[in-house]
Structure 1
Amino acid sequence: MKEGEGLRPIDIARRIGMSTSALRHYESWGLIPPVPRSPSGYRIYTLEHLAFFECIRNMGEGFGIKLTGAVLRHVKRGNIDSALWVINDAQTLKNRDKQIALRAVSLLEEPDKPQAGGALRECMTINEVVQQTGIAASAIRYWNQIGLLQVERDGMNGYRLFSPDSLKQMILIKTLRNAGYDLSTIKELLYEVGEQNIVRAIQIARSALEEMDKALQKQLVGLHYLYKLLRELGKM
């Protein structure tokens, strides 16, 4: 692009494989810098805008648009360290999810093998389950409320009590959710596990691990475009 020239919305849309309406949406959401207009009112994008859109397109694939938006708003304000810490936190959570998925495979393939954290008690409280699995208590309660997870109640105080089997079930649910399965599909898959279709369950859990690896690769591509954007802005 020659100095003084601008890029039309259609130019950017064709270059990055995105519709012009999507470009306008991202602009209205505050994900890119202000866009100058021609005397006739048409948008005039610059190479800086192109770098932002490329970053949105590619980071969104691996991190999702919500987190990508949070990162780019920090970048727009010049808070580069804050943007990088948002990414670091997201990848820390992704690593935790990967460990949960690995544990799901281990529980399915070798159900009698001692697990990290020691032997499981026959009746565990929700706090103990959270410590064992890293799954949020709010998610566990929700799965119980919608009938995805069946648990017993303490006859004295009404507290939920979890068995080792229900803990394994929670780990599998979390793994499937991370892999993108909806709740109705997960319910069907849990039924198959209950019917002793363990081979099918192992295949699903391993497939979930593969999807996590693919997502990590997409994140790497997204980070490449974030680096390009920061170079364009003179921040790297």
Structure 2
Amino acid sequence: MRPIDLAREHGLSAQAIRNYDDAGILPPTERTDNGYRRYTPAHAQALRAFLALRAGHGHERAAEILRSCHRGDTESAYRLIDATHTALHTERGTHTDVATALDNLSATPPDPIPGRPLTVGELAHRLGVHAATLRTWETEGILRPERDPATGYRHYRPDAVRDAEIARQLRRGGYPLARVAHFLESLHEAGGTEALTAFLTAWQQRLNARGRALLSGAAQLDAYLLLCERM
């Protein structure tokens, strides 16, 4: 088969196939006497596997999975696959924790002392973190406490308490600070309760779609490995 023969199935260009070949995503390719690349059904299945894996693992990890298989190092390929599944499992737990935190905040007053916002120490105690952690989150743009005009002390109103609760769950889920800040910014843009529910639903749908993509990628990779075993 020629590059264009592989490309047509996926709506790609022949140059894209050559690029994947040069990147080691396809198995080693034979060439004709005049230098043209010759592809086999194994190359076609490797391409299907890569494109399916890419949807769940991302471009770089999918490429490394295929390269590992081409080297005969399936152990490394399986480790890479396991790492993605572990990360997805962790994110599912984070989604559940964030949704629970939001439910709890809506069901119970975030301020244990009615009529007064929380201080740094009170919020730190509520979350089980150090006060210095809250200051770091503020520096990173995660929290935006108010300041007492007379003393300069930080005050955390219910919306800031909610943000801190969510930040704690996301950090437990392994989210870096920059990503936590971006998440909360998106949450603020979502607005009220209905928009927040839609935000969480969309997140869940993305998790489910990625899980399905991982299944599809595994099926195509398995088909490629079986084909290689029979050759």
How far apart, CA to CA, are the structure 2 residues paired with 1:10 and 1:58? 19
SS in 2 for 1:213: helix
| Alpha carbons 1:108, 1:201 under 8 Å: kept | no
**In 2, Cα distance between the equivalents of 1:210 and 1:127?**
35
* Cα root mean square deviation, aligned: 3.6
TM-score of the pair, normalised by structure 2: 0.71
Q: Which residue of 1 aligns with 2:130?
A: 125
- After superposition, the C-alpha distances for 1:166-210 in whole angstroms (9 at most, x for unaligned) are 4333268789x9xxx9x77852532555xxx13311220121011
Question: Is structure 2 residue 33 aligned with structure 1 residue 39?
Answer: yes
Aligned to 1:187: 185
For residues 186 and 122 of structure 1, do their structure 2 counterparts lie closer, same or farther at Cα, with a shift above 3 Å needed? closer
For the 8 Å contact 1:13–1:20, the answer to whether it is kept is yes
Relative to total residues, which structure has the larger helix share, 1 or 2?
A: 2
Gaps of 5+ in 1: 1-6, 114-119, 130-140, 153-161
Residue pairs, 1:144-223, within 5 angstroms: 147-150=141-144, 165-170=162-167, 187-193=185-191, 197-223=192-218
Indicate how the Cα distance of structure 1 residues 151 and 65 shifts in structure 2: closer, same or farther if over 3 A, else same.
Answer: farther
- Distance of aligned partners of 1:35 and 1:169 in 2 relative to their CA distance in 1, 3 Å threshold: same
DSSP 3-state at the match of 2:196: helix
1:39 Cα deviation (Å)?
2.2
Partner of 1:132: none
Q: Which runs of 5+ in 2 are unaligned?
A: 109-123, 147-155
Name 1:225's counterpart in structure 2.
220
| TM-score, normalising length: structure 1 | 0.69
Hey, what does 1:134 align to over in structure 2? none
CA distance in 2, matches of 1:11, 1:230: 21
Aligned to 2:63: 69
Cα distance, 1:149 vs structure 2: 4.1
Match of 2:10 among 16, 27, 44: 16
Q: What is the DSSP-based 3-state SS (H/G/I as helix, E as strand, rest coil) of the residue aligned with 2:141? A: coil
The residue number in structure 2 matching 1:100 is 94
Residues 190 and 33 of structure 1, relative CA distance in 2, 3 Å threshold: same
Counterpart of 1:234 in 2: which secondary structure?
A: helix
| 2:76 alignment partner in structure 1 | 82
- The alpha-carbon distance between structure 1 residues 9 and 223, as it changes in their structure 2 partners (threshold 3 A), is same
What is the identity, as a one-letter code, of the residue corresponding to 1:81? E
Bigger Cα Rg: 2
